């Protein structure tokens, strides 16, 4: 079983015939390229070059370019879920927790726009073909539903199917994140992340919580 390799190959150029960690190296290299030039310019051959292997080596670990992208997206979802979970640690009451979840959602998107695009975009058209991806993606949705249920139990959110309410909340943050990532909201193109964007997120989240309706009616 012991699949542990001599992961420490220090730094010597004594690159042996076998790489030792090609799969991870490819995913990391692909991620770096995506960050630098966008998914469109990701190239299997360049990922191979970055890892210091030949052009065809990636095919021992990925069936296709799409499979490599799927692995990057999977990694993205894991980091995404982690950040979301951490964001709820600080918050004590359910309402704050829900809000922080939204803030974390948008923050991740603006901090890692290209990763976010790969995660939700059409570069992997059929995500269900890659079960690890599908699972990681699914896992990042559930905290939202849980937070809504907690809010209901605490009496701060109204009754109703929590899944349905979660769709509304999810749509809101996902839409805001997408619009920010596509540089579509005035005044929020350049820095991406930052306190201004965080304030914007809180305001939008408050709109959904309080409603747009005029209350005095």
Partner DNA sequence: CTTCCAATGTTAACGTTGTCAACATAATTC
Partner DNA sequence: GAATTATGTTGACAACGTTAACATTGGAAG
C-alpha 215, offset from chain centre: 36
Judged by CB under 8 A, the stretch of 14-22, 45-53, 74-82, 175-183 that binds a second copy is: 175-183
- C-alpha 160/C-alpha 208 separation (Å) is 15
Choose the binding region for DNA from 62-70, 106-114, 118-126, 182-190 (rule: CB under 7 A).
Answer: 62-70
Which residue has tokens 């965080």? 198
Q: Long-range CB contacts (< 8 A, 24+ apart) of 141-145?
A: 141/166, 141/170, 143/81, 143/84, 143/85, 143/88, 143/101, 144/98, 144/101, 144/169, 144/170
State the binding string over 77-106 for DNA (x if CB under 7 A, else -).
Answer: ------------------------------
Tell the smallest beta-carbon distance from residue 16 to DNA (Å): 5
* Segment contacting a second copy by CB under 8 A, of 45-53, 55-63, 78-86, 150-158: 150-158
Task: Kindly tell me which residue out of 24, 46, 83, 198 binds DNA, with binding defined by CB under 7 A.
Answer: 46
C-alpha triplet 171, 168, 94: angle, nearest 5°: 110
Judged by CB under 7 A, the residue of 35, 37, 56, 185 near DNA is 56
Interface ranges with DNA (CB under 7 A)? 5, 16-20, 22, 42-46, 48, 53-57, 59-61, 63-66
């Amino acid at each position: 079983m012991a699949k542990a390799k001599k992961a420490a190959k220090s730094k010597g150029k004594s690159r042996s015939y076998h790489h030792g960690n090609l799969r991870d190296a490819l995913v990391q290299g692909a991620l770096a390229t995506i960050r630098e030039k966008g998914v469109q310019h990701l190239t299997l051959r360049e990922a191979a070059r970055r890892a210091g292997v030949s052009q065809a080596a990636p095919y021992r670990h990925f069936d296709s370019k799409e499979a490599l992208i799927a692995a990057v997206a999977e990694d993205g979802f894991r980091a995404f879920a982690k950040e979301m979970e951490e964001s709820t640690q600080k918050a004590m009451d359910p309402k704050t927790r829900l809000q922080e979840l939204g803030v974390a959602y948008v923050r991740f998107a603006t901090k890692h726009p290209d990763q976010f695009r790969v995660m939700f975009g059409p570069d992997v058209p059929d995500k269900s073909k890659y079960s690890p991806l599908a699972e990681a993606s699914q896992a990042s949705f559930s905290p939202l539903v849980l937070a809504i249920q907690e809010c209901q139990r605490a009496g701060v959110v109204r009754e109703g199917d929590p899944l349905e309410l979660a769709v509304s909340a999810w749509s809101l943050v996902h839409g805001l994140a997408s619009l920010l990532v596509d540089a579509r909201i005035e005044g929020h193109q350049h820095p991406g992340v930052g306190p201004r964007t965080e304030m914007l997120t809180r305001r939008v989240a408050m709109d959904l919580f309080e409603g747009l309706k005029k209350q005095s009616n």
